[in-house]
């Protein structure tokens, strides 16, 4: 486990408010390797050194945040979290609940430079580091996708080397079944 993040005030945000239509059940509650995908995501953020974690779209969770417009998409959930957490944190390290293959190696470089500029991996909108203050100035009605949000924030795209398997979303029962087979 890496030490807690000391650069700026950083909170983790797990995006878990989707409808899971293709999966047919709530992805956050899916069990893989003995625990839910939501618990995997929490453990990942903790292992990366993020000690304060919130879950977007799940106000029923102790660390949950409500969506202003349920099922309006992850970009809206990020902007909602920024508005709720403003003044308490400088940036959000945002991960989706449905990427259980992510590891600290994919998150640590995003936070290494500290708060200030949005960052993500090239060709991968998530995970991402999102500074809160610039989000507050955006017109949320104009932001309908994470890619557009990152473009509006002038996010830096870090070069990606190596396999992109850790960035695979688990959207269907078949994708979940293939997690351990690597296919």
**152 is a domain residue:** yes
Q: Is residue 114 part of a domain?
A: yes
> Which of the pair, 177 or 73, is modelled with greater confidence?
73
Q: Total domain count for the chain? A: 1
Q: By residue range, what is the domain housing residue 173?
A: 10-177
The pTM for the full model equals 0.88
- Is residue 5 in some structural domain? no
**Residue 4 within a domain:** no
- CATH code, 66: 3.90.550.10
Tell me what pLDDT residue 10 has. Answer: 94
Q: What is the rounded average pLDDT for all residues in the chain?
A: 85
In this structure, are residues 85 and 124 in contact, taking their beta carbons and an 8 Å threshold?
Answer: no
In a domain, 61, yes or no: yes
CB atoms within 10 A of CB 14: 29
In a domain, 3, yes or no: no
Annotate 109-158 with DSSP letters as a single string: HHHTT-SSS-EEETTEEEEEEEEHHHHHTS-GGG--SHHHHHHHTT-EEE
**105: exposed, middle or buried (C-beta count within 10 Å: 0-12, 13-18, 19+)?**
exposed
Mean pLDDT of the region 45-70: 91
Question: Per-residue confidence at 143, pLDDT binned at 50, 70, 90?
Answer: confident
**Does any domain span residue 91?**
yes
Q: What is the H or E stretch that residue 181 is in? A: none
Instruction: Classify residue 28: in a domain, yes or no.
Output: yes
């Amino acid at each position: 486990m890496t030490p807690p993040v000391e650069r700026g005030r950083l909170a983790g945000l797990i995006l878990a408010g989707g409808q899971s239509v293709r999966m047919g059940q709530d992805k956050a509650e899916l069990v893989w390797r003995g625990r839910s995908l939501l618990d995997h995501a929490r453990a990942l953020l903790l292992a990366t050194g993020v000690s304060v974690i919130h879950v977007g779209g799940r106000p029923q969770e102790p660390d949950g945040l409500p969506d202003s417009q349920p099922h309006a998409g992850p970009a809206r959930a990020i902007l909602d979290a920024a508005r709720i957490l403003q003044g308490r944190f400088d940036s959000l390290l945002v991960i989706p609940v449905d990427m259980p293959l992510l590891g600290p190696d994919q998150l640590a470089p995003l936070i290494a430079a500290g708060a200030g500029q949005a960052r993500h991996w090239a060709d991968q909108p998530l995970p991402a580091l999102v500074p809160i203050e610039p989000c507050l100035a955006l017109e949320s009605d104009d932001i309908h996708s994470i890619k557009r949000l990152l473009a509006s924030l002038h996010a830096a795209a870090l070069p990606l080397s190596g396999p992109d398997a850790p960035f695979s979303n688990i959207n269907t029962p078949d994708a979940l079944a293939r997690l351990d087979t690597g296919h």
